[in-house]
Amino acid sequence: MTELLFLDGGTGRELKRIGAPFRQPEWSALALIEAPEFVSRVHQAYVDAGADIITTNSYALVPFHLGDERHARDAARLAALSGELAREVARNAPRPVRVAGSLPPVCGSYRADLFDTAAAKPLLDVLVQALRPFVDHWQGETLSAIAEARLLRDVIGNDGKPLWVAFTLCDTGEHGDTPCLRSGEPVEQAVRVAAELGAAAVLFNCSQPEVMGAAVTVAVQTLAGIAPGVRVGVYANAFPPMSAAAEANSTLCDIRADLDPEGYLQWARDWVRRGASIVGGCCGIGPEHIARLREALAAG
């Protein structure tokens, strides 16, 4: 049986919860700018909760959050700092902990319609070059369209570090029972392309828990025939359904009361039963959730 790996959870809300500097438009980047010790505290909290993988706090290092001028001036430095902070916590952990290099959808979260390859490539280049010395694998996060995954492979190249691709799913029901990305592209097609790109893992993130199970089933079945060694994983958010016009981190969304650690665990059990071998959390899922997942699922 494949070993179950535990990701960390969301960073932005955890920074806010522990009192780090936090506001719009900077979101989680503000702690890197003004008080990076809080970022280290969040990483440490997830290690203490049992995470095998901690994710660099580089998701918000895009013009949407920093502004064009500050991004041009500071993005590379801040990305390198995010890598240094995560690597330091991992290095001092009491057990092996890996560092995932977060590569966000630089043209806009949830917005496949805003994606532009020419505009996105130089923004991703900055993050990849700055993070490369510190990360164990690349994690393309909250990808709404297959084209975003293709660009990641192009920018990263073949540097020897595994690529994990995490797609965000339509969670408002407009595509019926067929699991789709927010672009409307079917999950099966996205998984096939991810395998063609040499992804070591295909994940689904920053969508409601309710839509993840069907996507896991499709991914596991699809990969069984073309790339059986590729892992499947899930890290859901705790938001209500998000419309096609929404943008992640554009406002502080409500958190569902039913997705406490025990409630989230019930969804994670289902994902693992369907074949997921990587579980963690996204926005609104904190160290207490990861600790409960580890406690309940690590023994198999």
DSSP string, 75-102: HHHHHHHHHHHHHHHHHTSSS--EEEEE
Q: According to the model, what pLDDT value does residue 293 have?
A: 98
Q: What is the pTM of this model?
A: 0.94
**CATH architecture of structural domain 5-297:** Alpha-Beta Barrel (3.20)
| Helix or strand (DSSP H, E) at 114 | none
Contact 115, 70 (CB under 8 A): no
User: Of the candidates 164, 174, 176, which has an alpha carbon nearest to the alpha carbon of residue 234?
Assistant: 164
Euclidean distance between CA atoms 166 and 213, whole angstroms? 15
DSSP-assigned letter for residue 151: H
**Interval 133-189: pLDDT, tens:** 999 999 999 999 999 999 999 999 999 999 999 999 998 766 668 999 999 999 999
Residues linked to residue 5 through DSSP beta bridges, in sequence order = 278
How is residue 159 written in tokens?
Answer: 């540097």
Bridge-based pairing state of the strands 53-55 and 231-236: unpaired
**Interval 217-271: pLDDT, tens:** 999 999 999 999 999 999 999 987 755 555 555 556 678 999 999 999 999 999 9
**Interval 19-55: pLDDT, tens:** 999 999 999 999 999 999 999 999 999 999 999 999 9
The domain ranges of the chain are 5-297
Q: According to the model, what pLDDT value does residue 174 have?
A: 66
Q: According to the model, what pLDDT value does residue 41 have?
A: 98
Euclidean distance between CA atoms 27 and 149, whole angstroms? 24
Mean per-residue pLDDT over the chain, rounded: 95
Query: Is pLDDT at 1 greater than 70 in this prediction?
Result: no
Q: Which residues of 58-83 are buried (b: 16+ CB within 10 A; e: fewer)?
A: bbbbbbbbbeeebbeebbbebbbbbb
Euclidean distance between CA atoms 195 and 197, whole angstroms? 5
